[in-house]
Amino acid sequence: MRAFTLLFHLGVIGSGLACGGLPKDEQLLKDFQNHRADLETLVRMFQEDKGLGRVGDSFTRPDEPQKVGVSAERLRDYRRLCNAVGAPDCIEGYAAAFDRLFGPVEAGRSETKDPIWIHAASRGLGISGSSKGFMYSTDPRFEIVADLDRVRPRRSGTWIRHIDGAWYIYFDYED
């Protein structure tokens, strides 16, 4: 019973964290305007590095990025740019080249990373929570809304707000 109570309280705390503390739309839009050139450089680099699926603050996917031709210097460049644009959780996106490192290609996965996520902030636990940041996609498949700050999710999902061209800000929620 004591373990159940502890898990319940952790879940409540995690849910509270998942809903609050993320940057507001206006801050992300301002950051986009101030750092658009760096954001575009990040996307261009990431598209070039076909087998790279994620660069986080202290990890990468795959774990050994040199196996896909990504040097330690290149990783420093990613992290420097991510910090410059206010996205310490850095960048993520997957293409067929990444899948082939581990087995068969996921159904529907192309040779191009789309979407590419630039994670500004996340809250919550690994199995639930929320995140917000920038998304680059030429073919977005998420619900477009006028104001992400007003989204009150009743279920897991991703919502996006258009900025310009293939650029969006996103809000992702996992319950």
Residue 13 pLDDT exceeds 50: no
What is the Cα–Cα distance from 174 to 18, expressed in whole angstroms?
8
pLDDT in tens, 22-35: 999 999 999 999 99
Averaged pLDDT for residues 136-142: 96
Number of C-alpha atoms within 13 angstroms, CB side, residue 122?
20
- Of the pLDDT bands very low, low, confident and very high (cuts 50, 70, 90), residue 14 is very low
Question: Which pLDDT score is estimated for 125?
Answer: 73
pTM: 0.87
Give me the residue spans of the domains in the chain: 2-174
Please check whether residue 39 is in contact with residue 47, taking contact to mean a CB–CB distance below 8 angstroms.
Answer: no
What is the Cα–Cα distance from 57 to 118, expressed in whole angstroms?
12
Averaged pLDDT for residues 157-172: 98
What is the Cα–Cα distance from 64 to 80, expressed in whole angstroms?
19
Instruction: Give the largest CA-CA distance in the chain.
Output: 54
pLDDT in tens, 51-89: 999 999 999 999 999 999 999 999 999 999 999 999 999
Least confident residue range of 86-95, 120-129, 155-164? 120-129
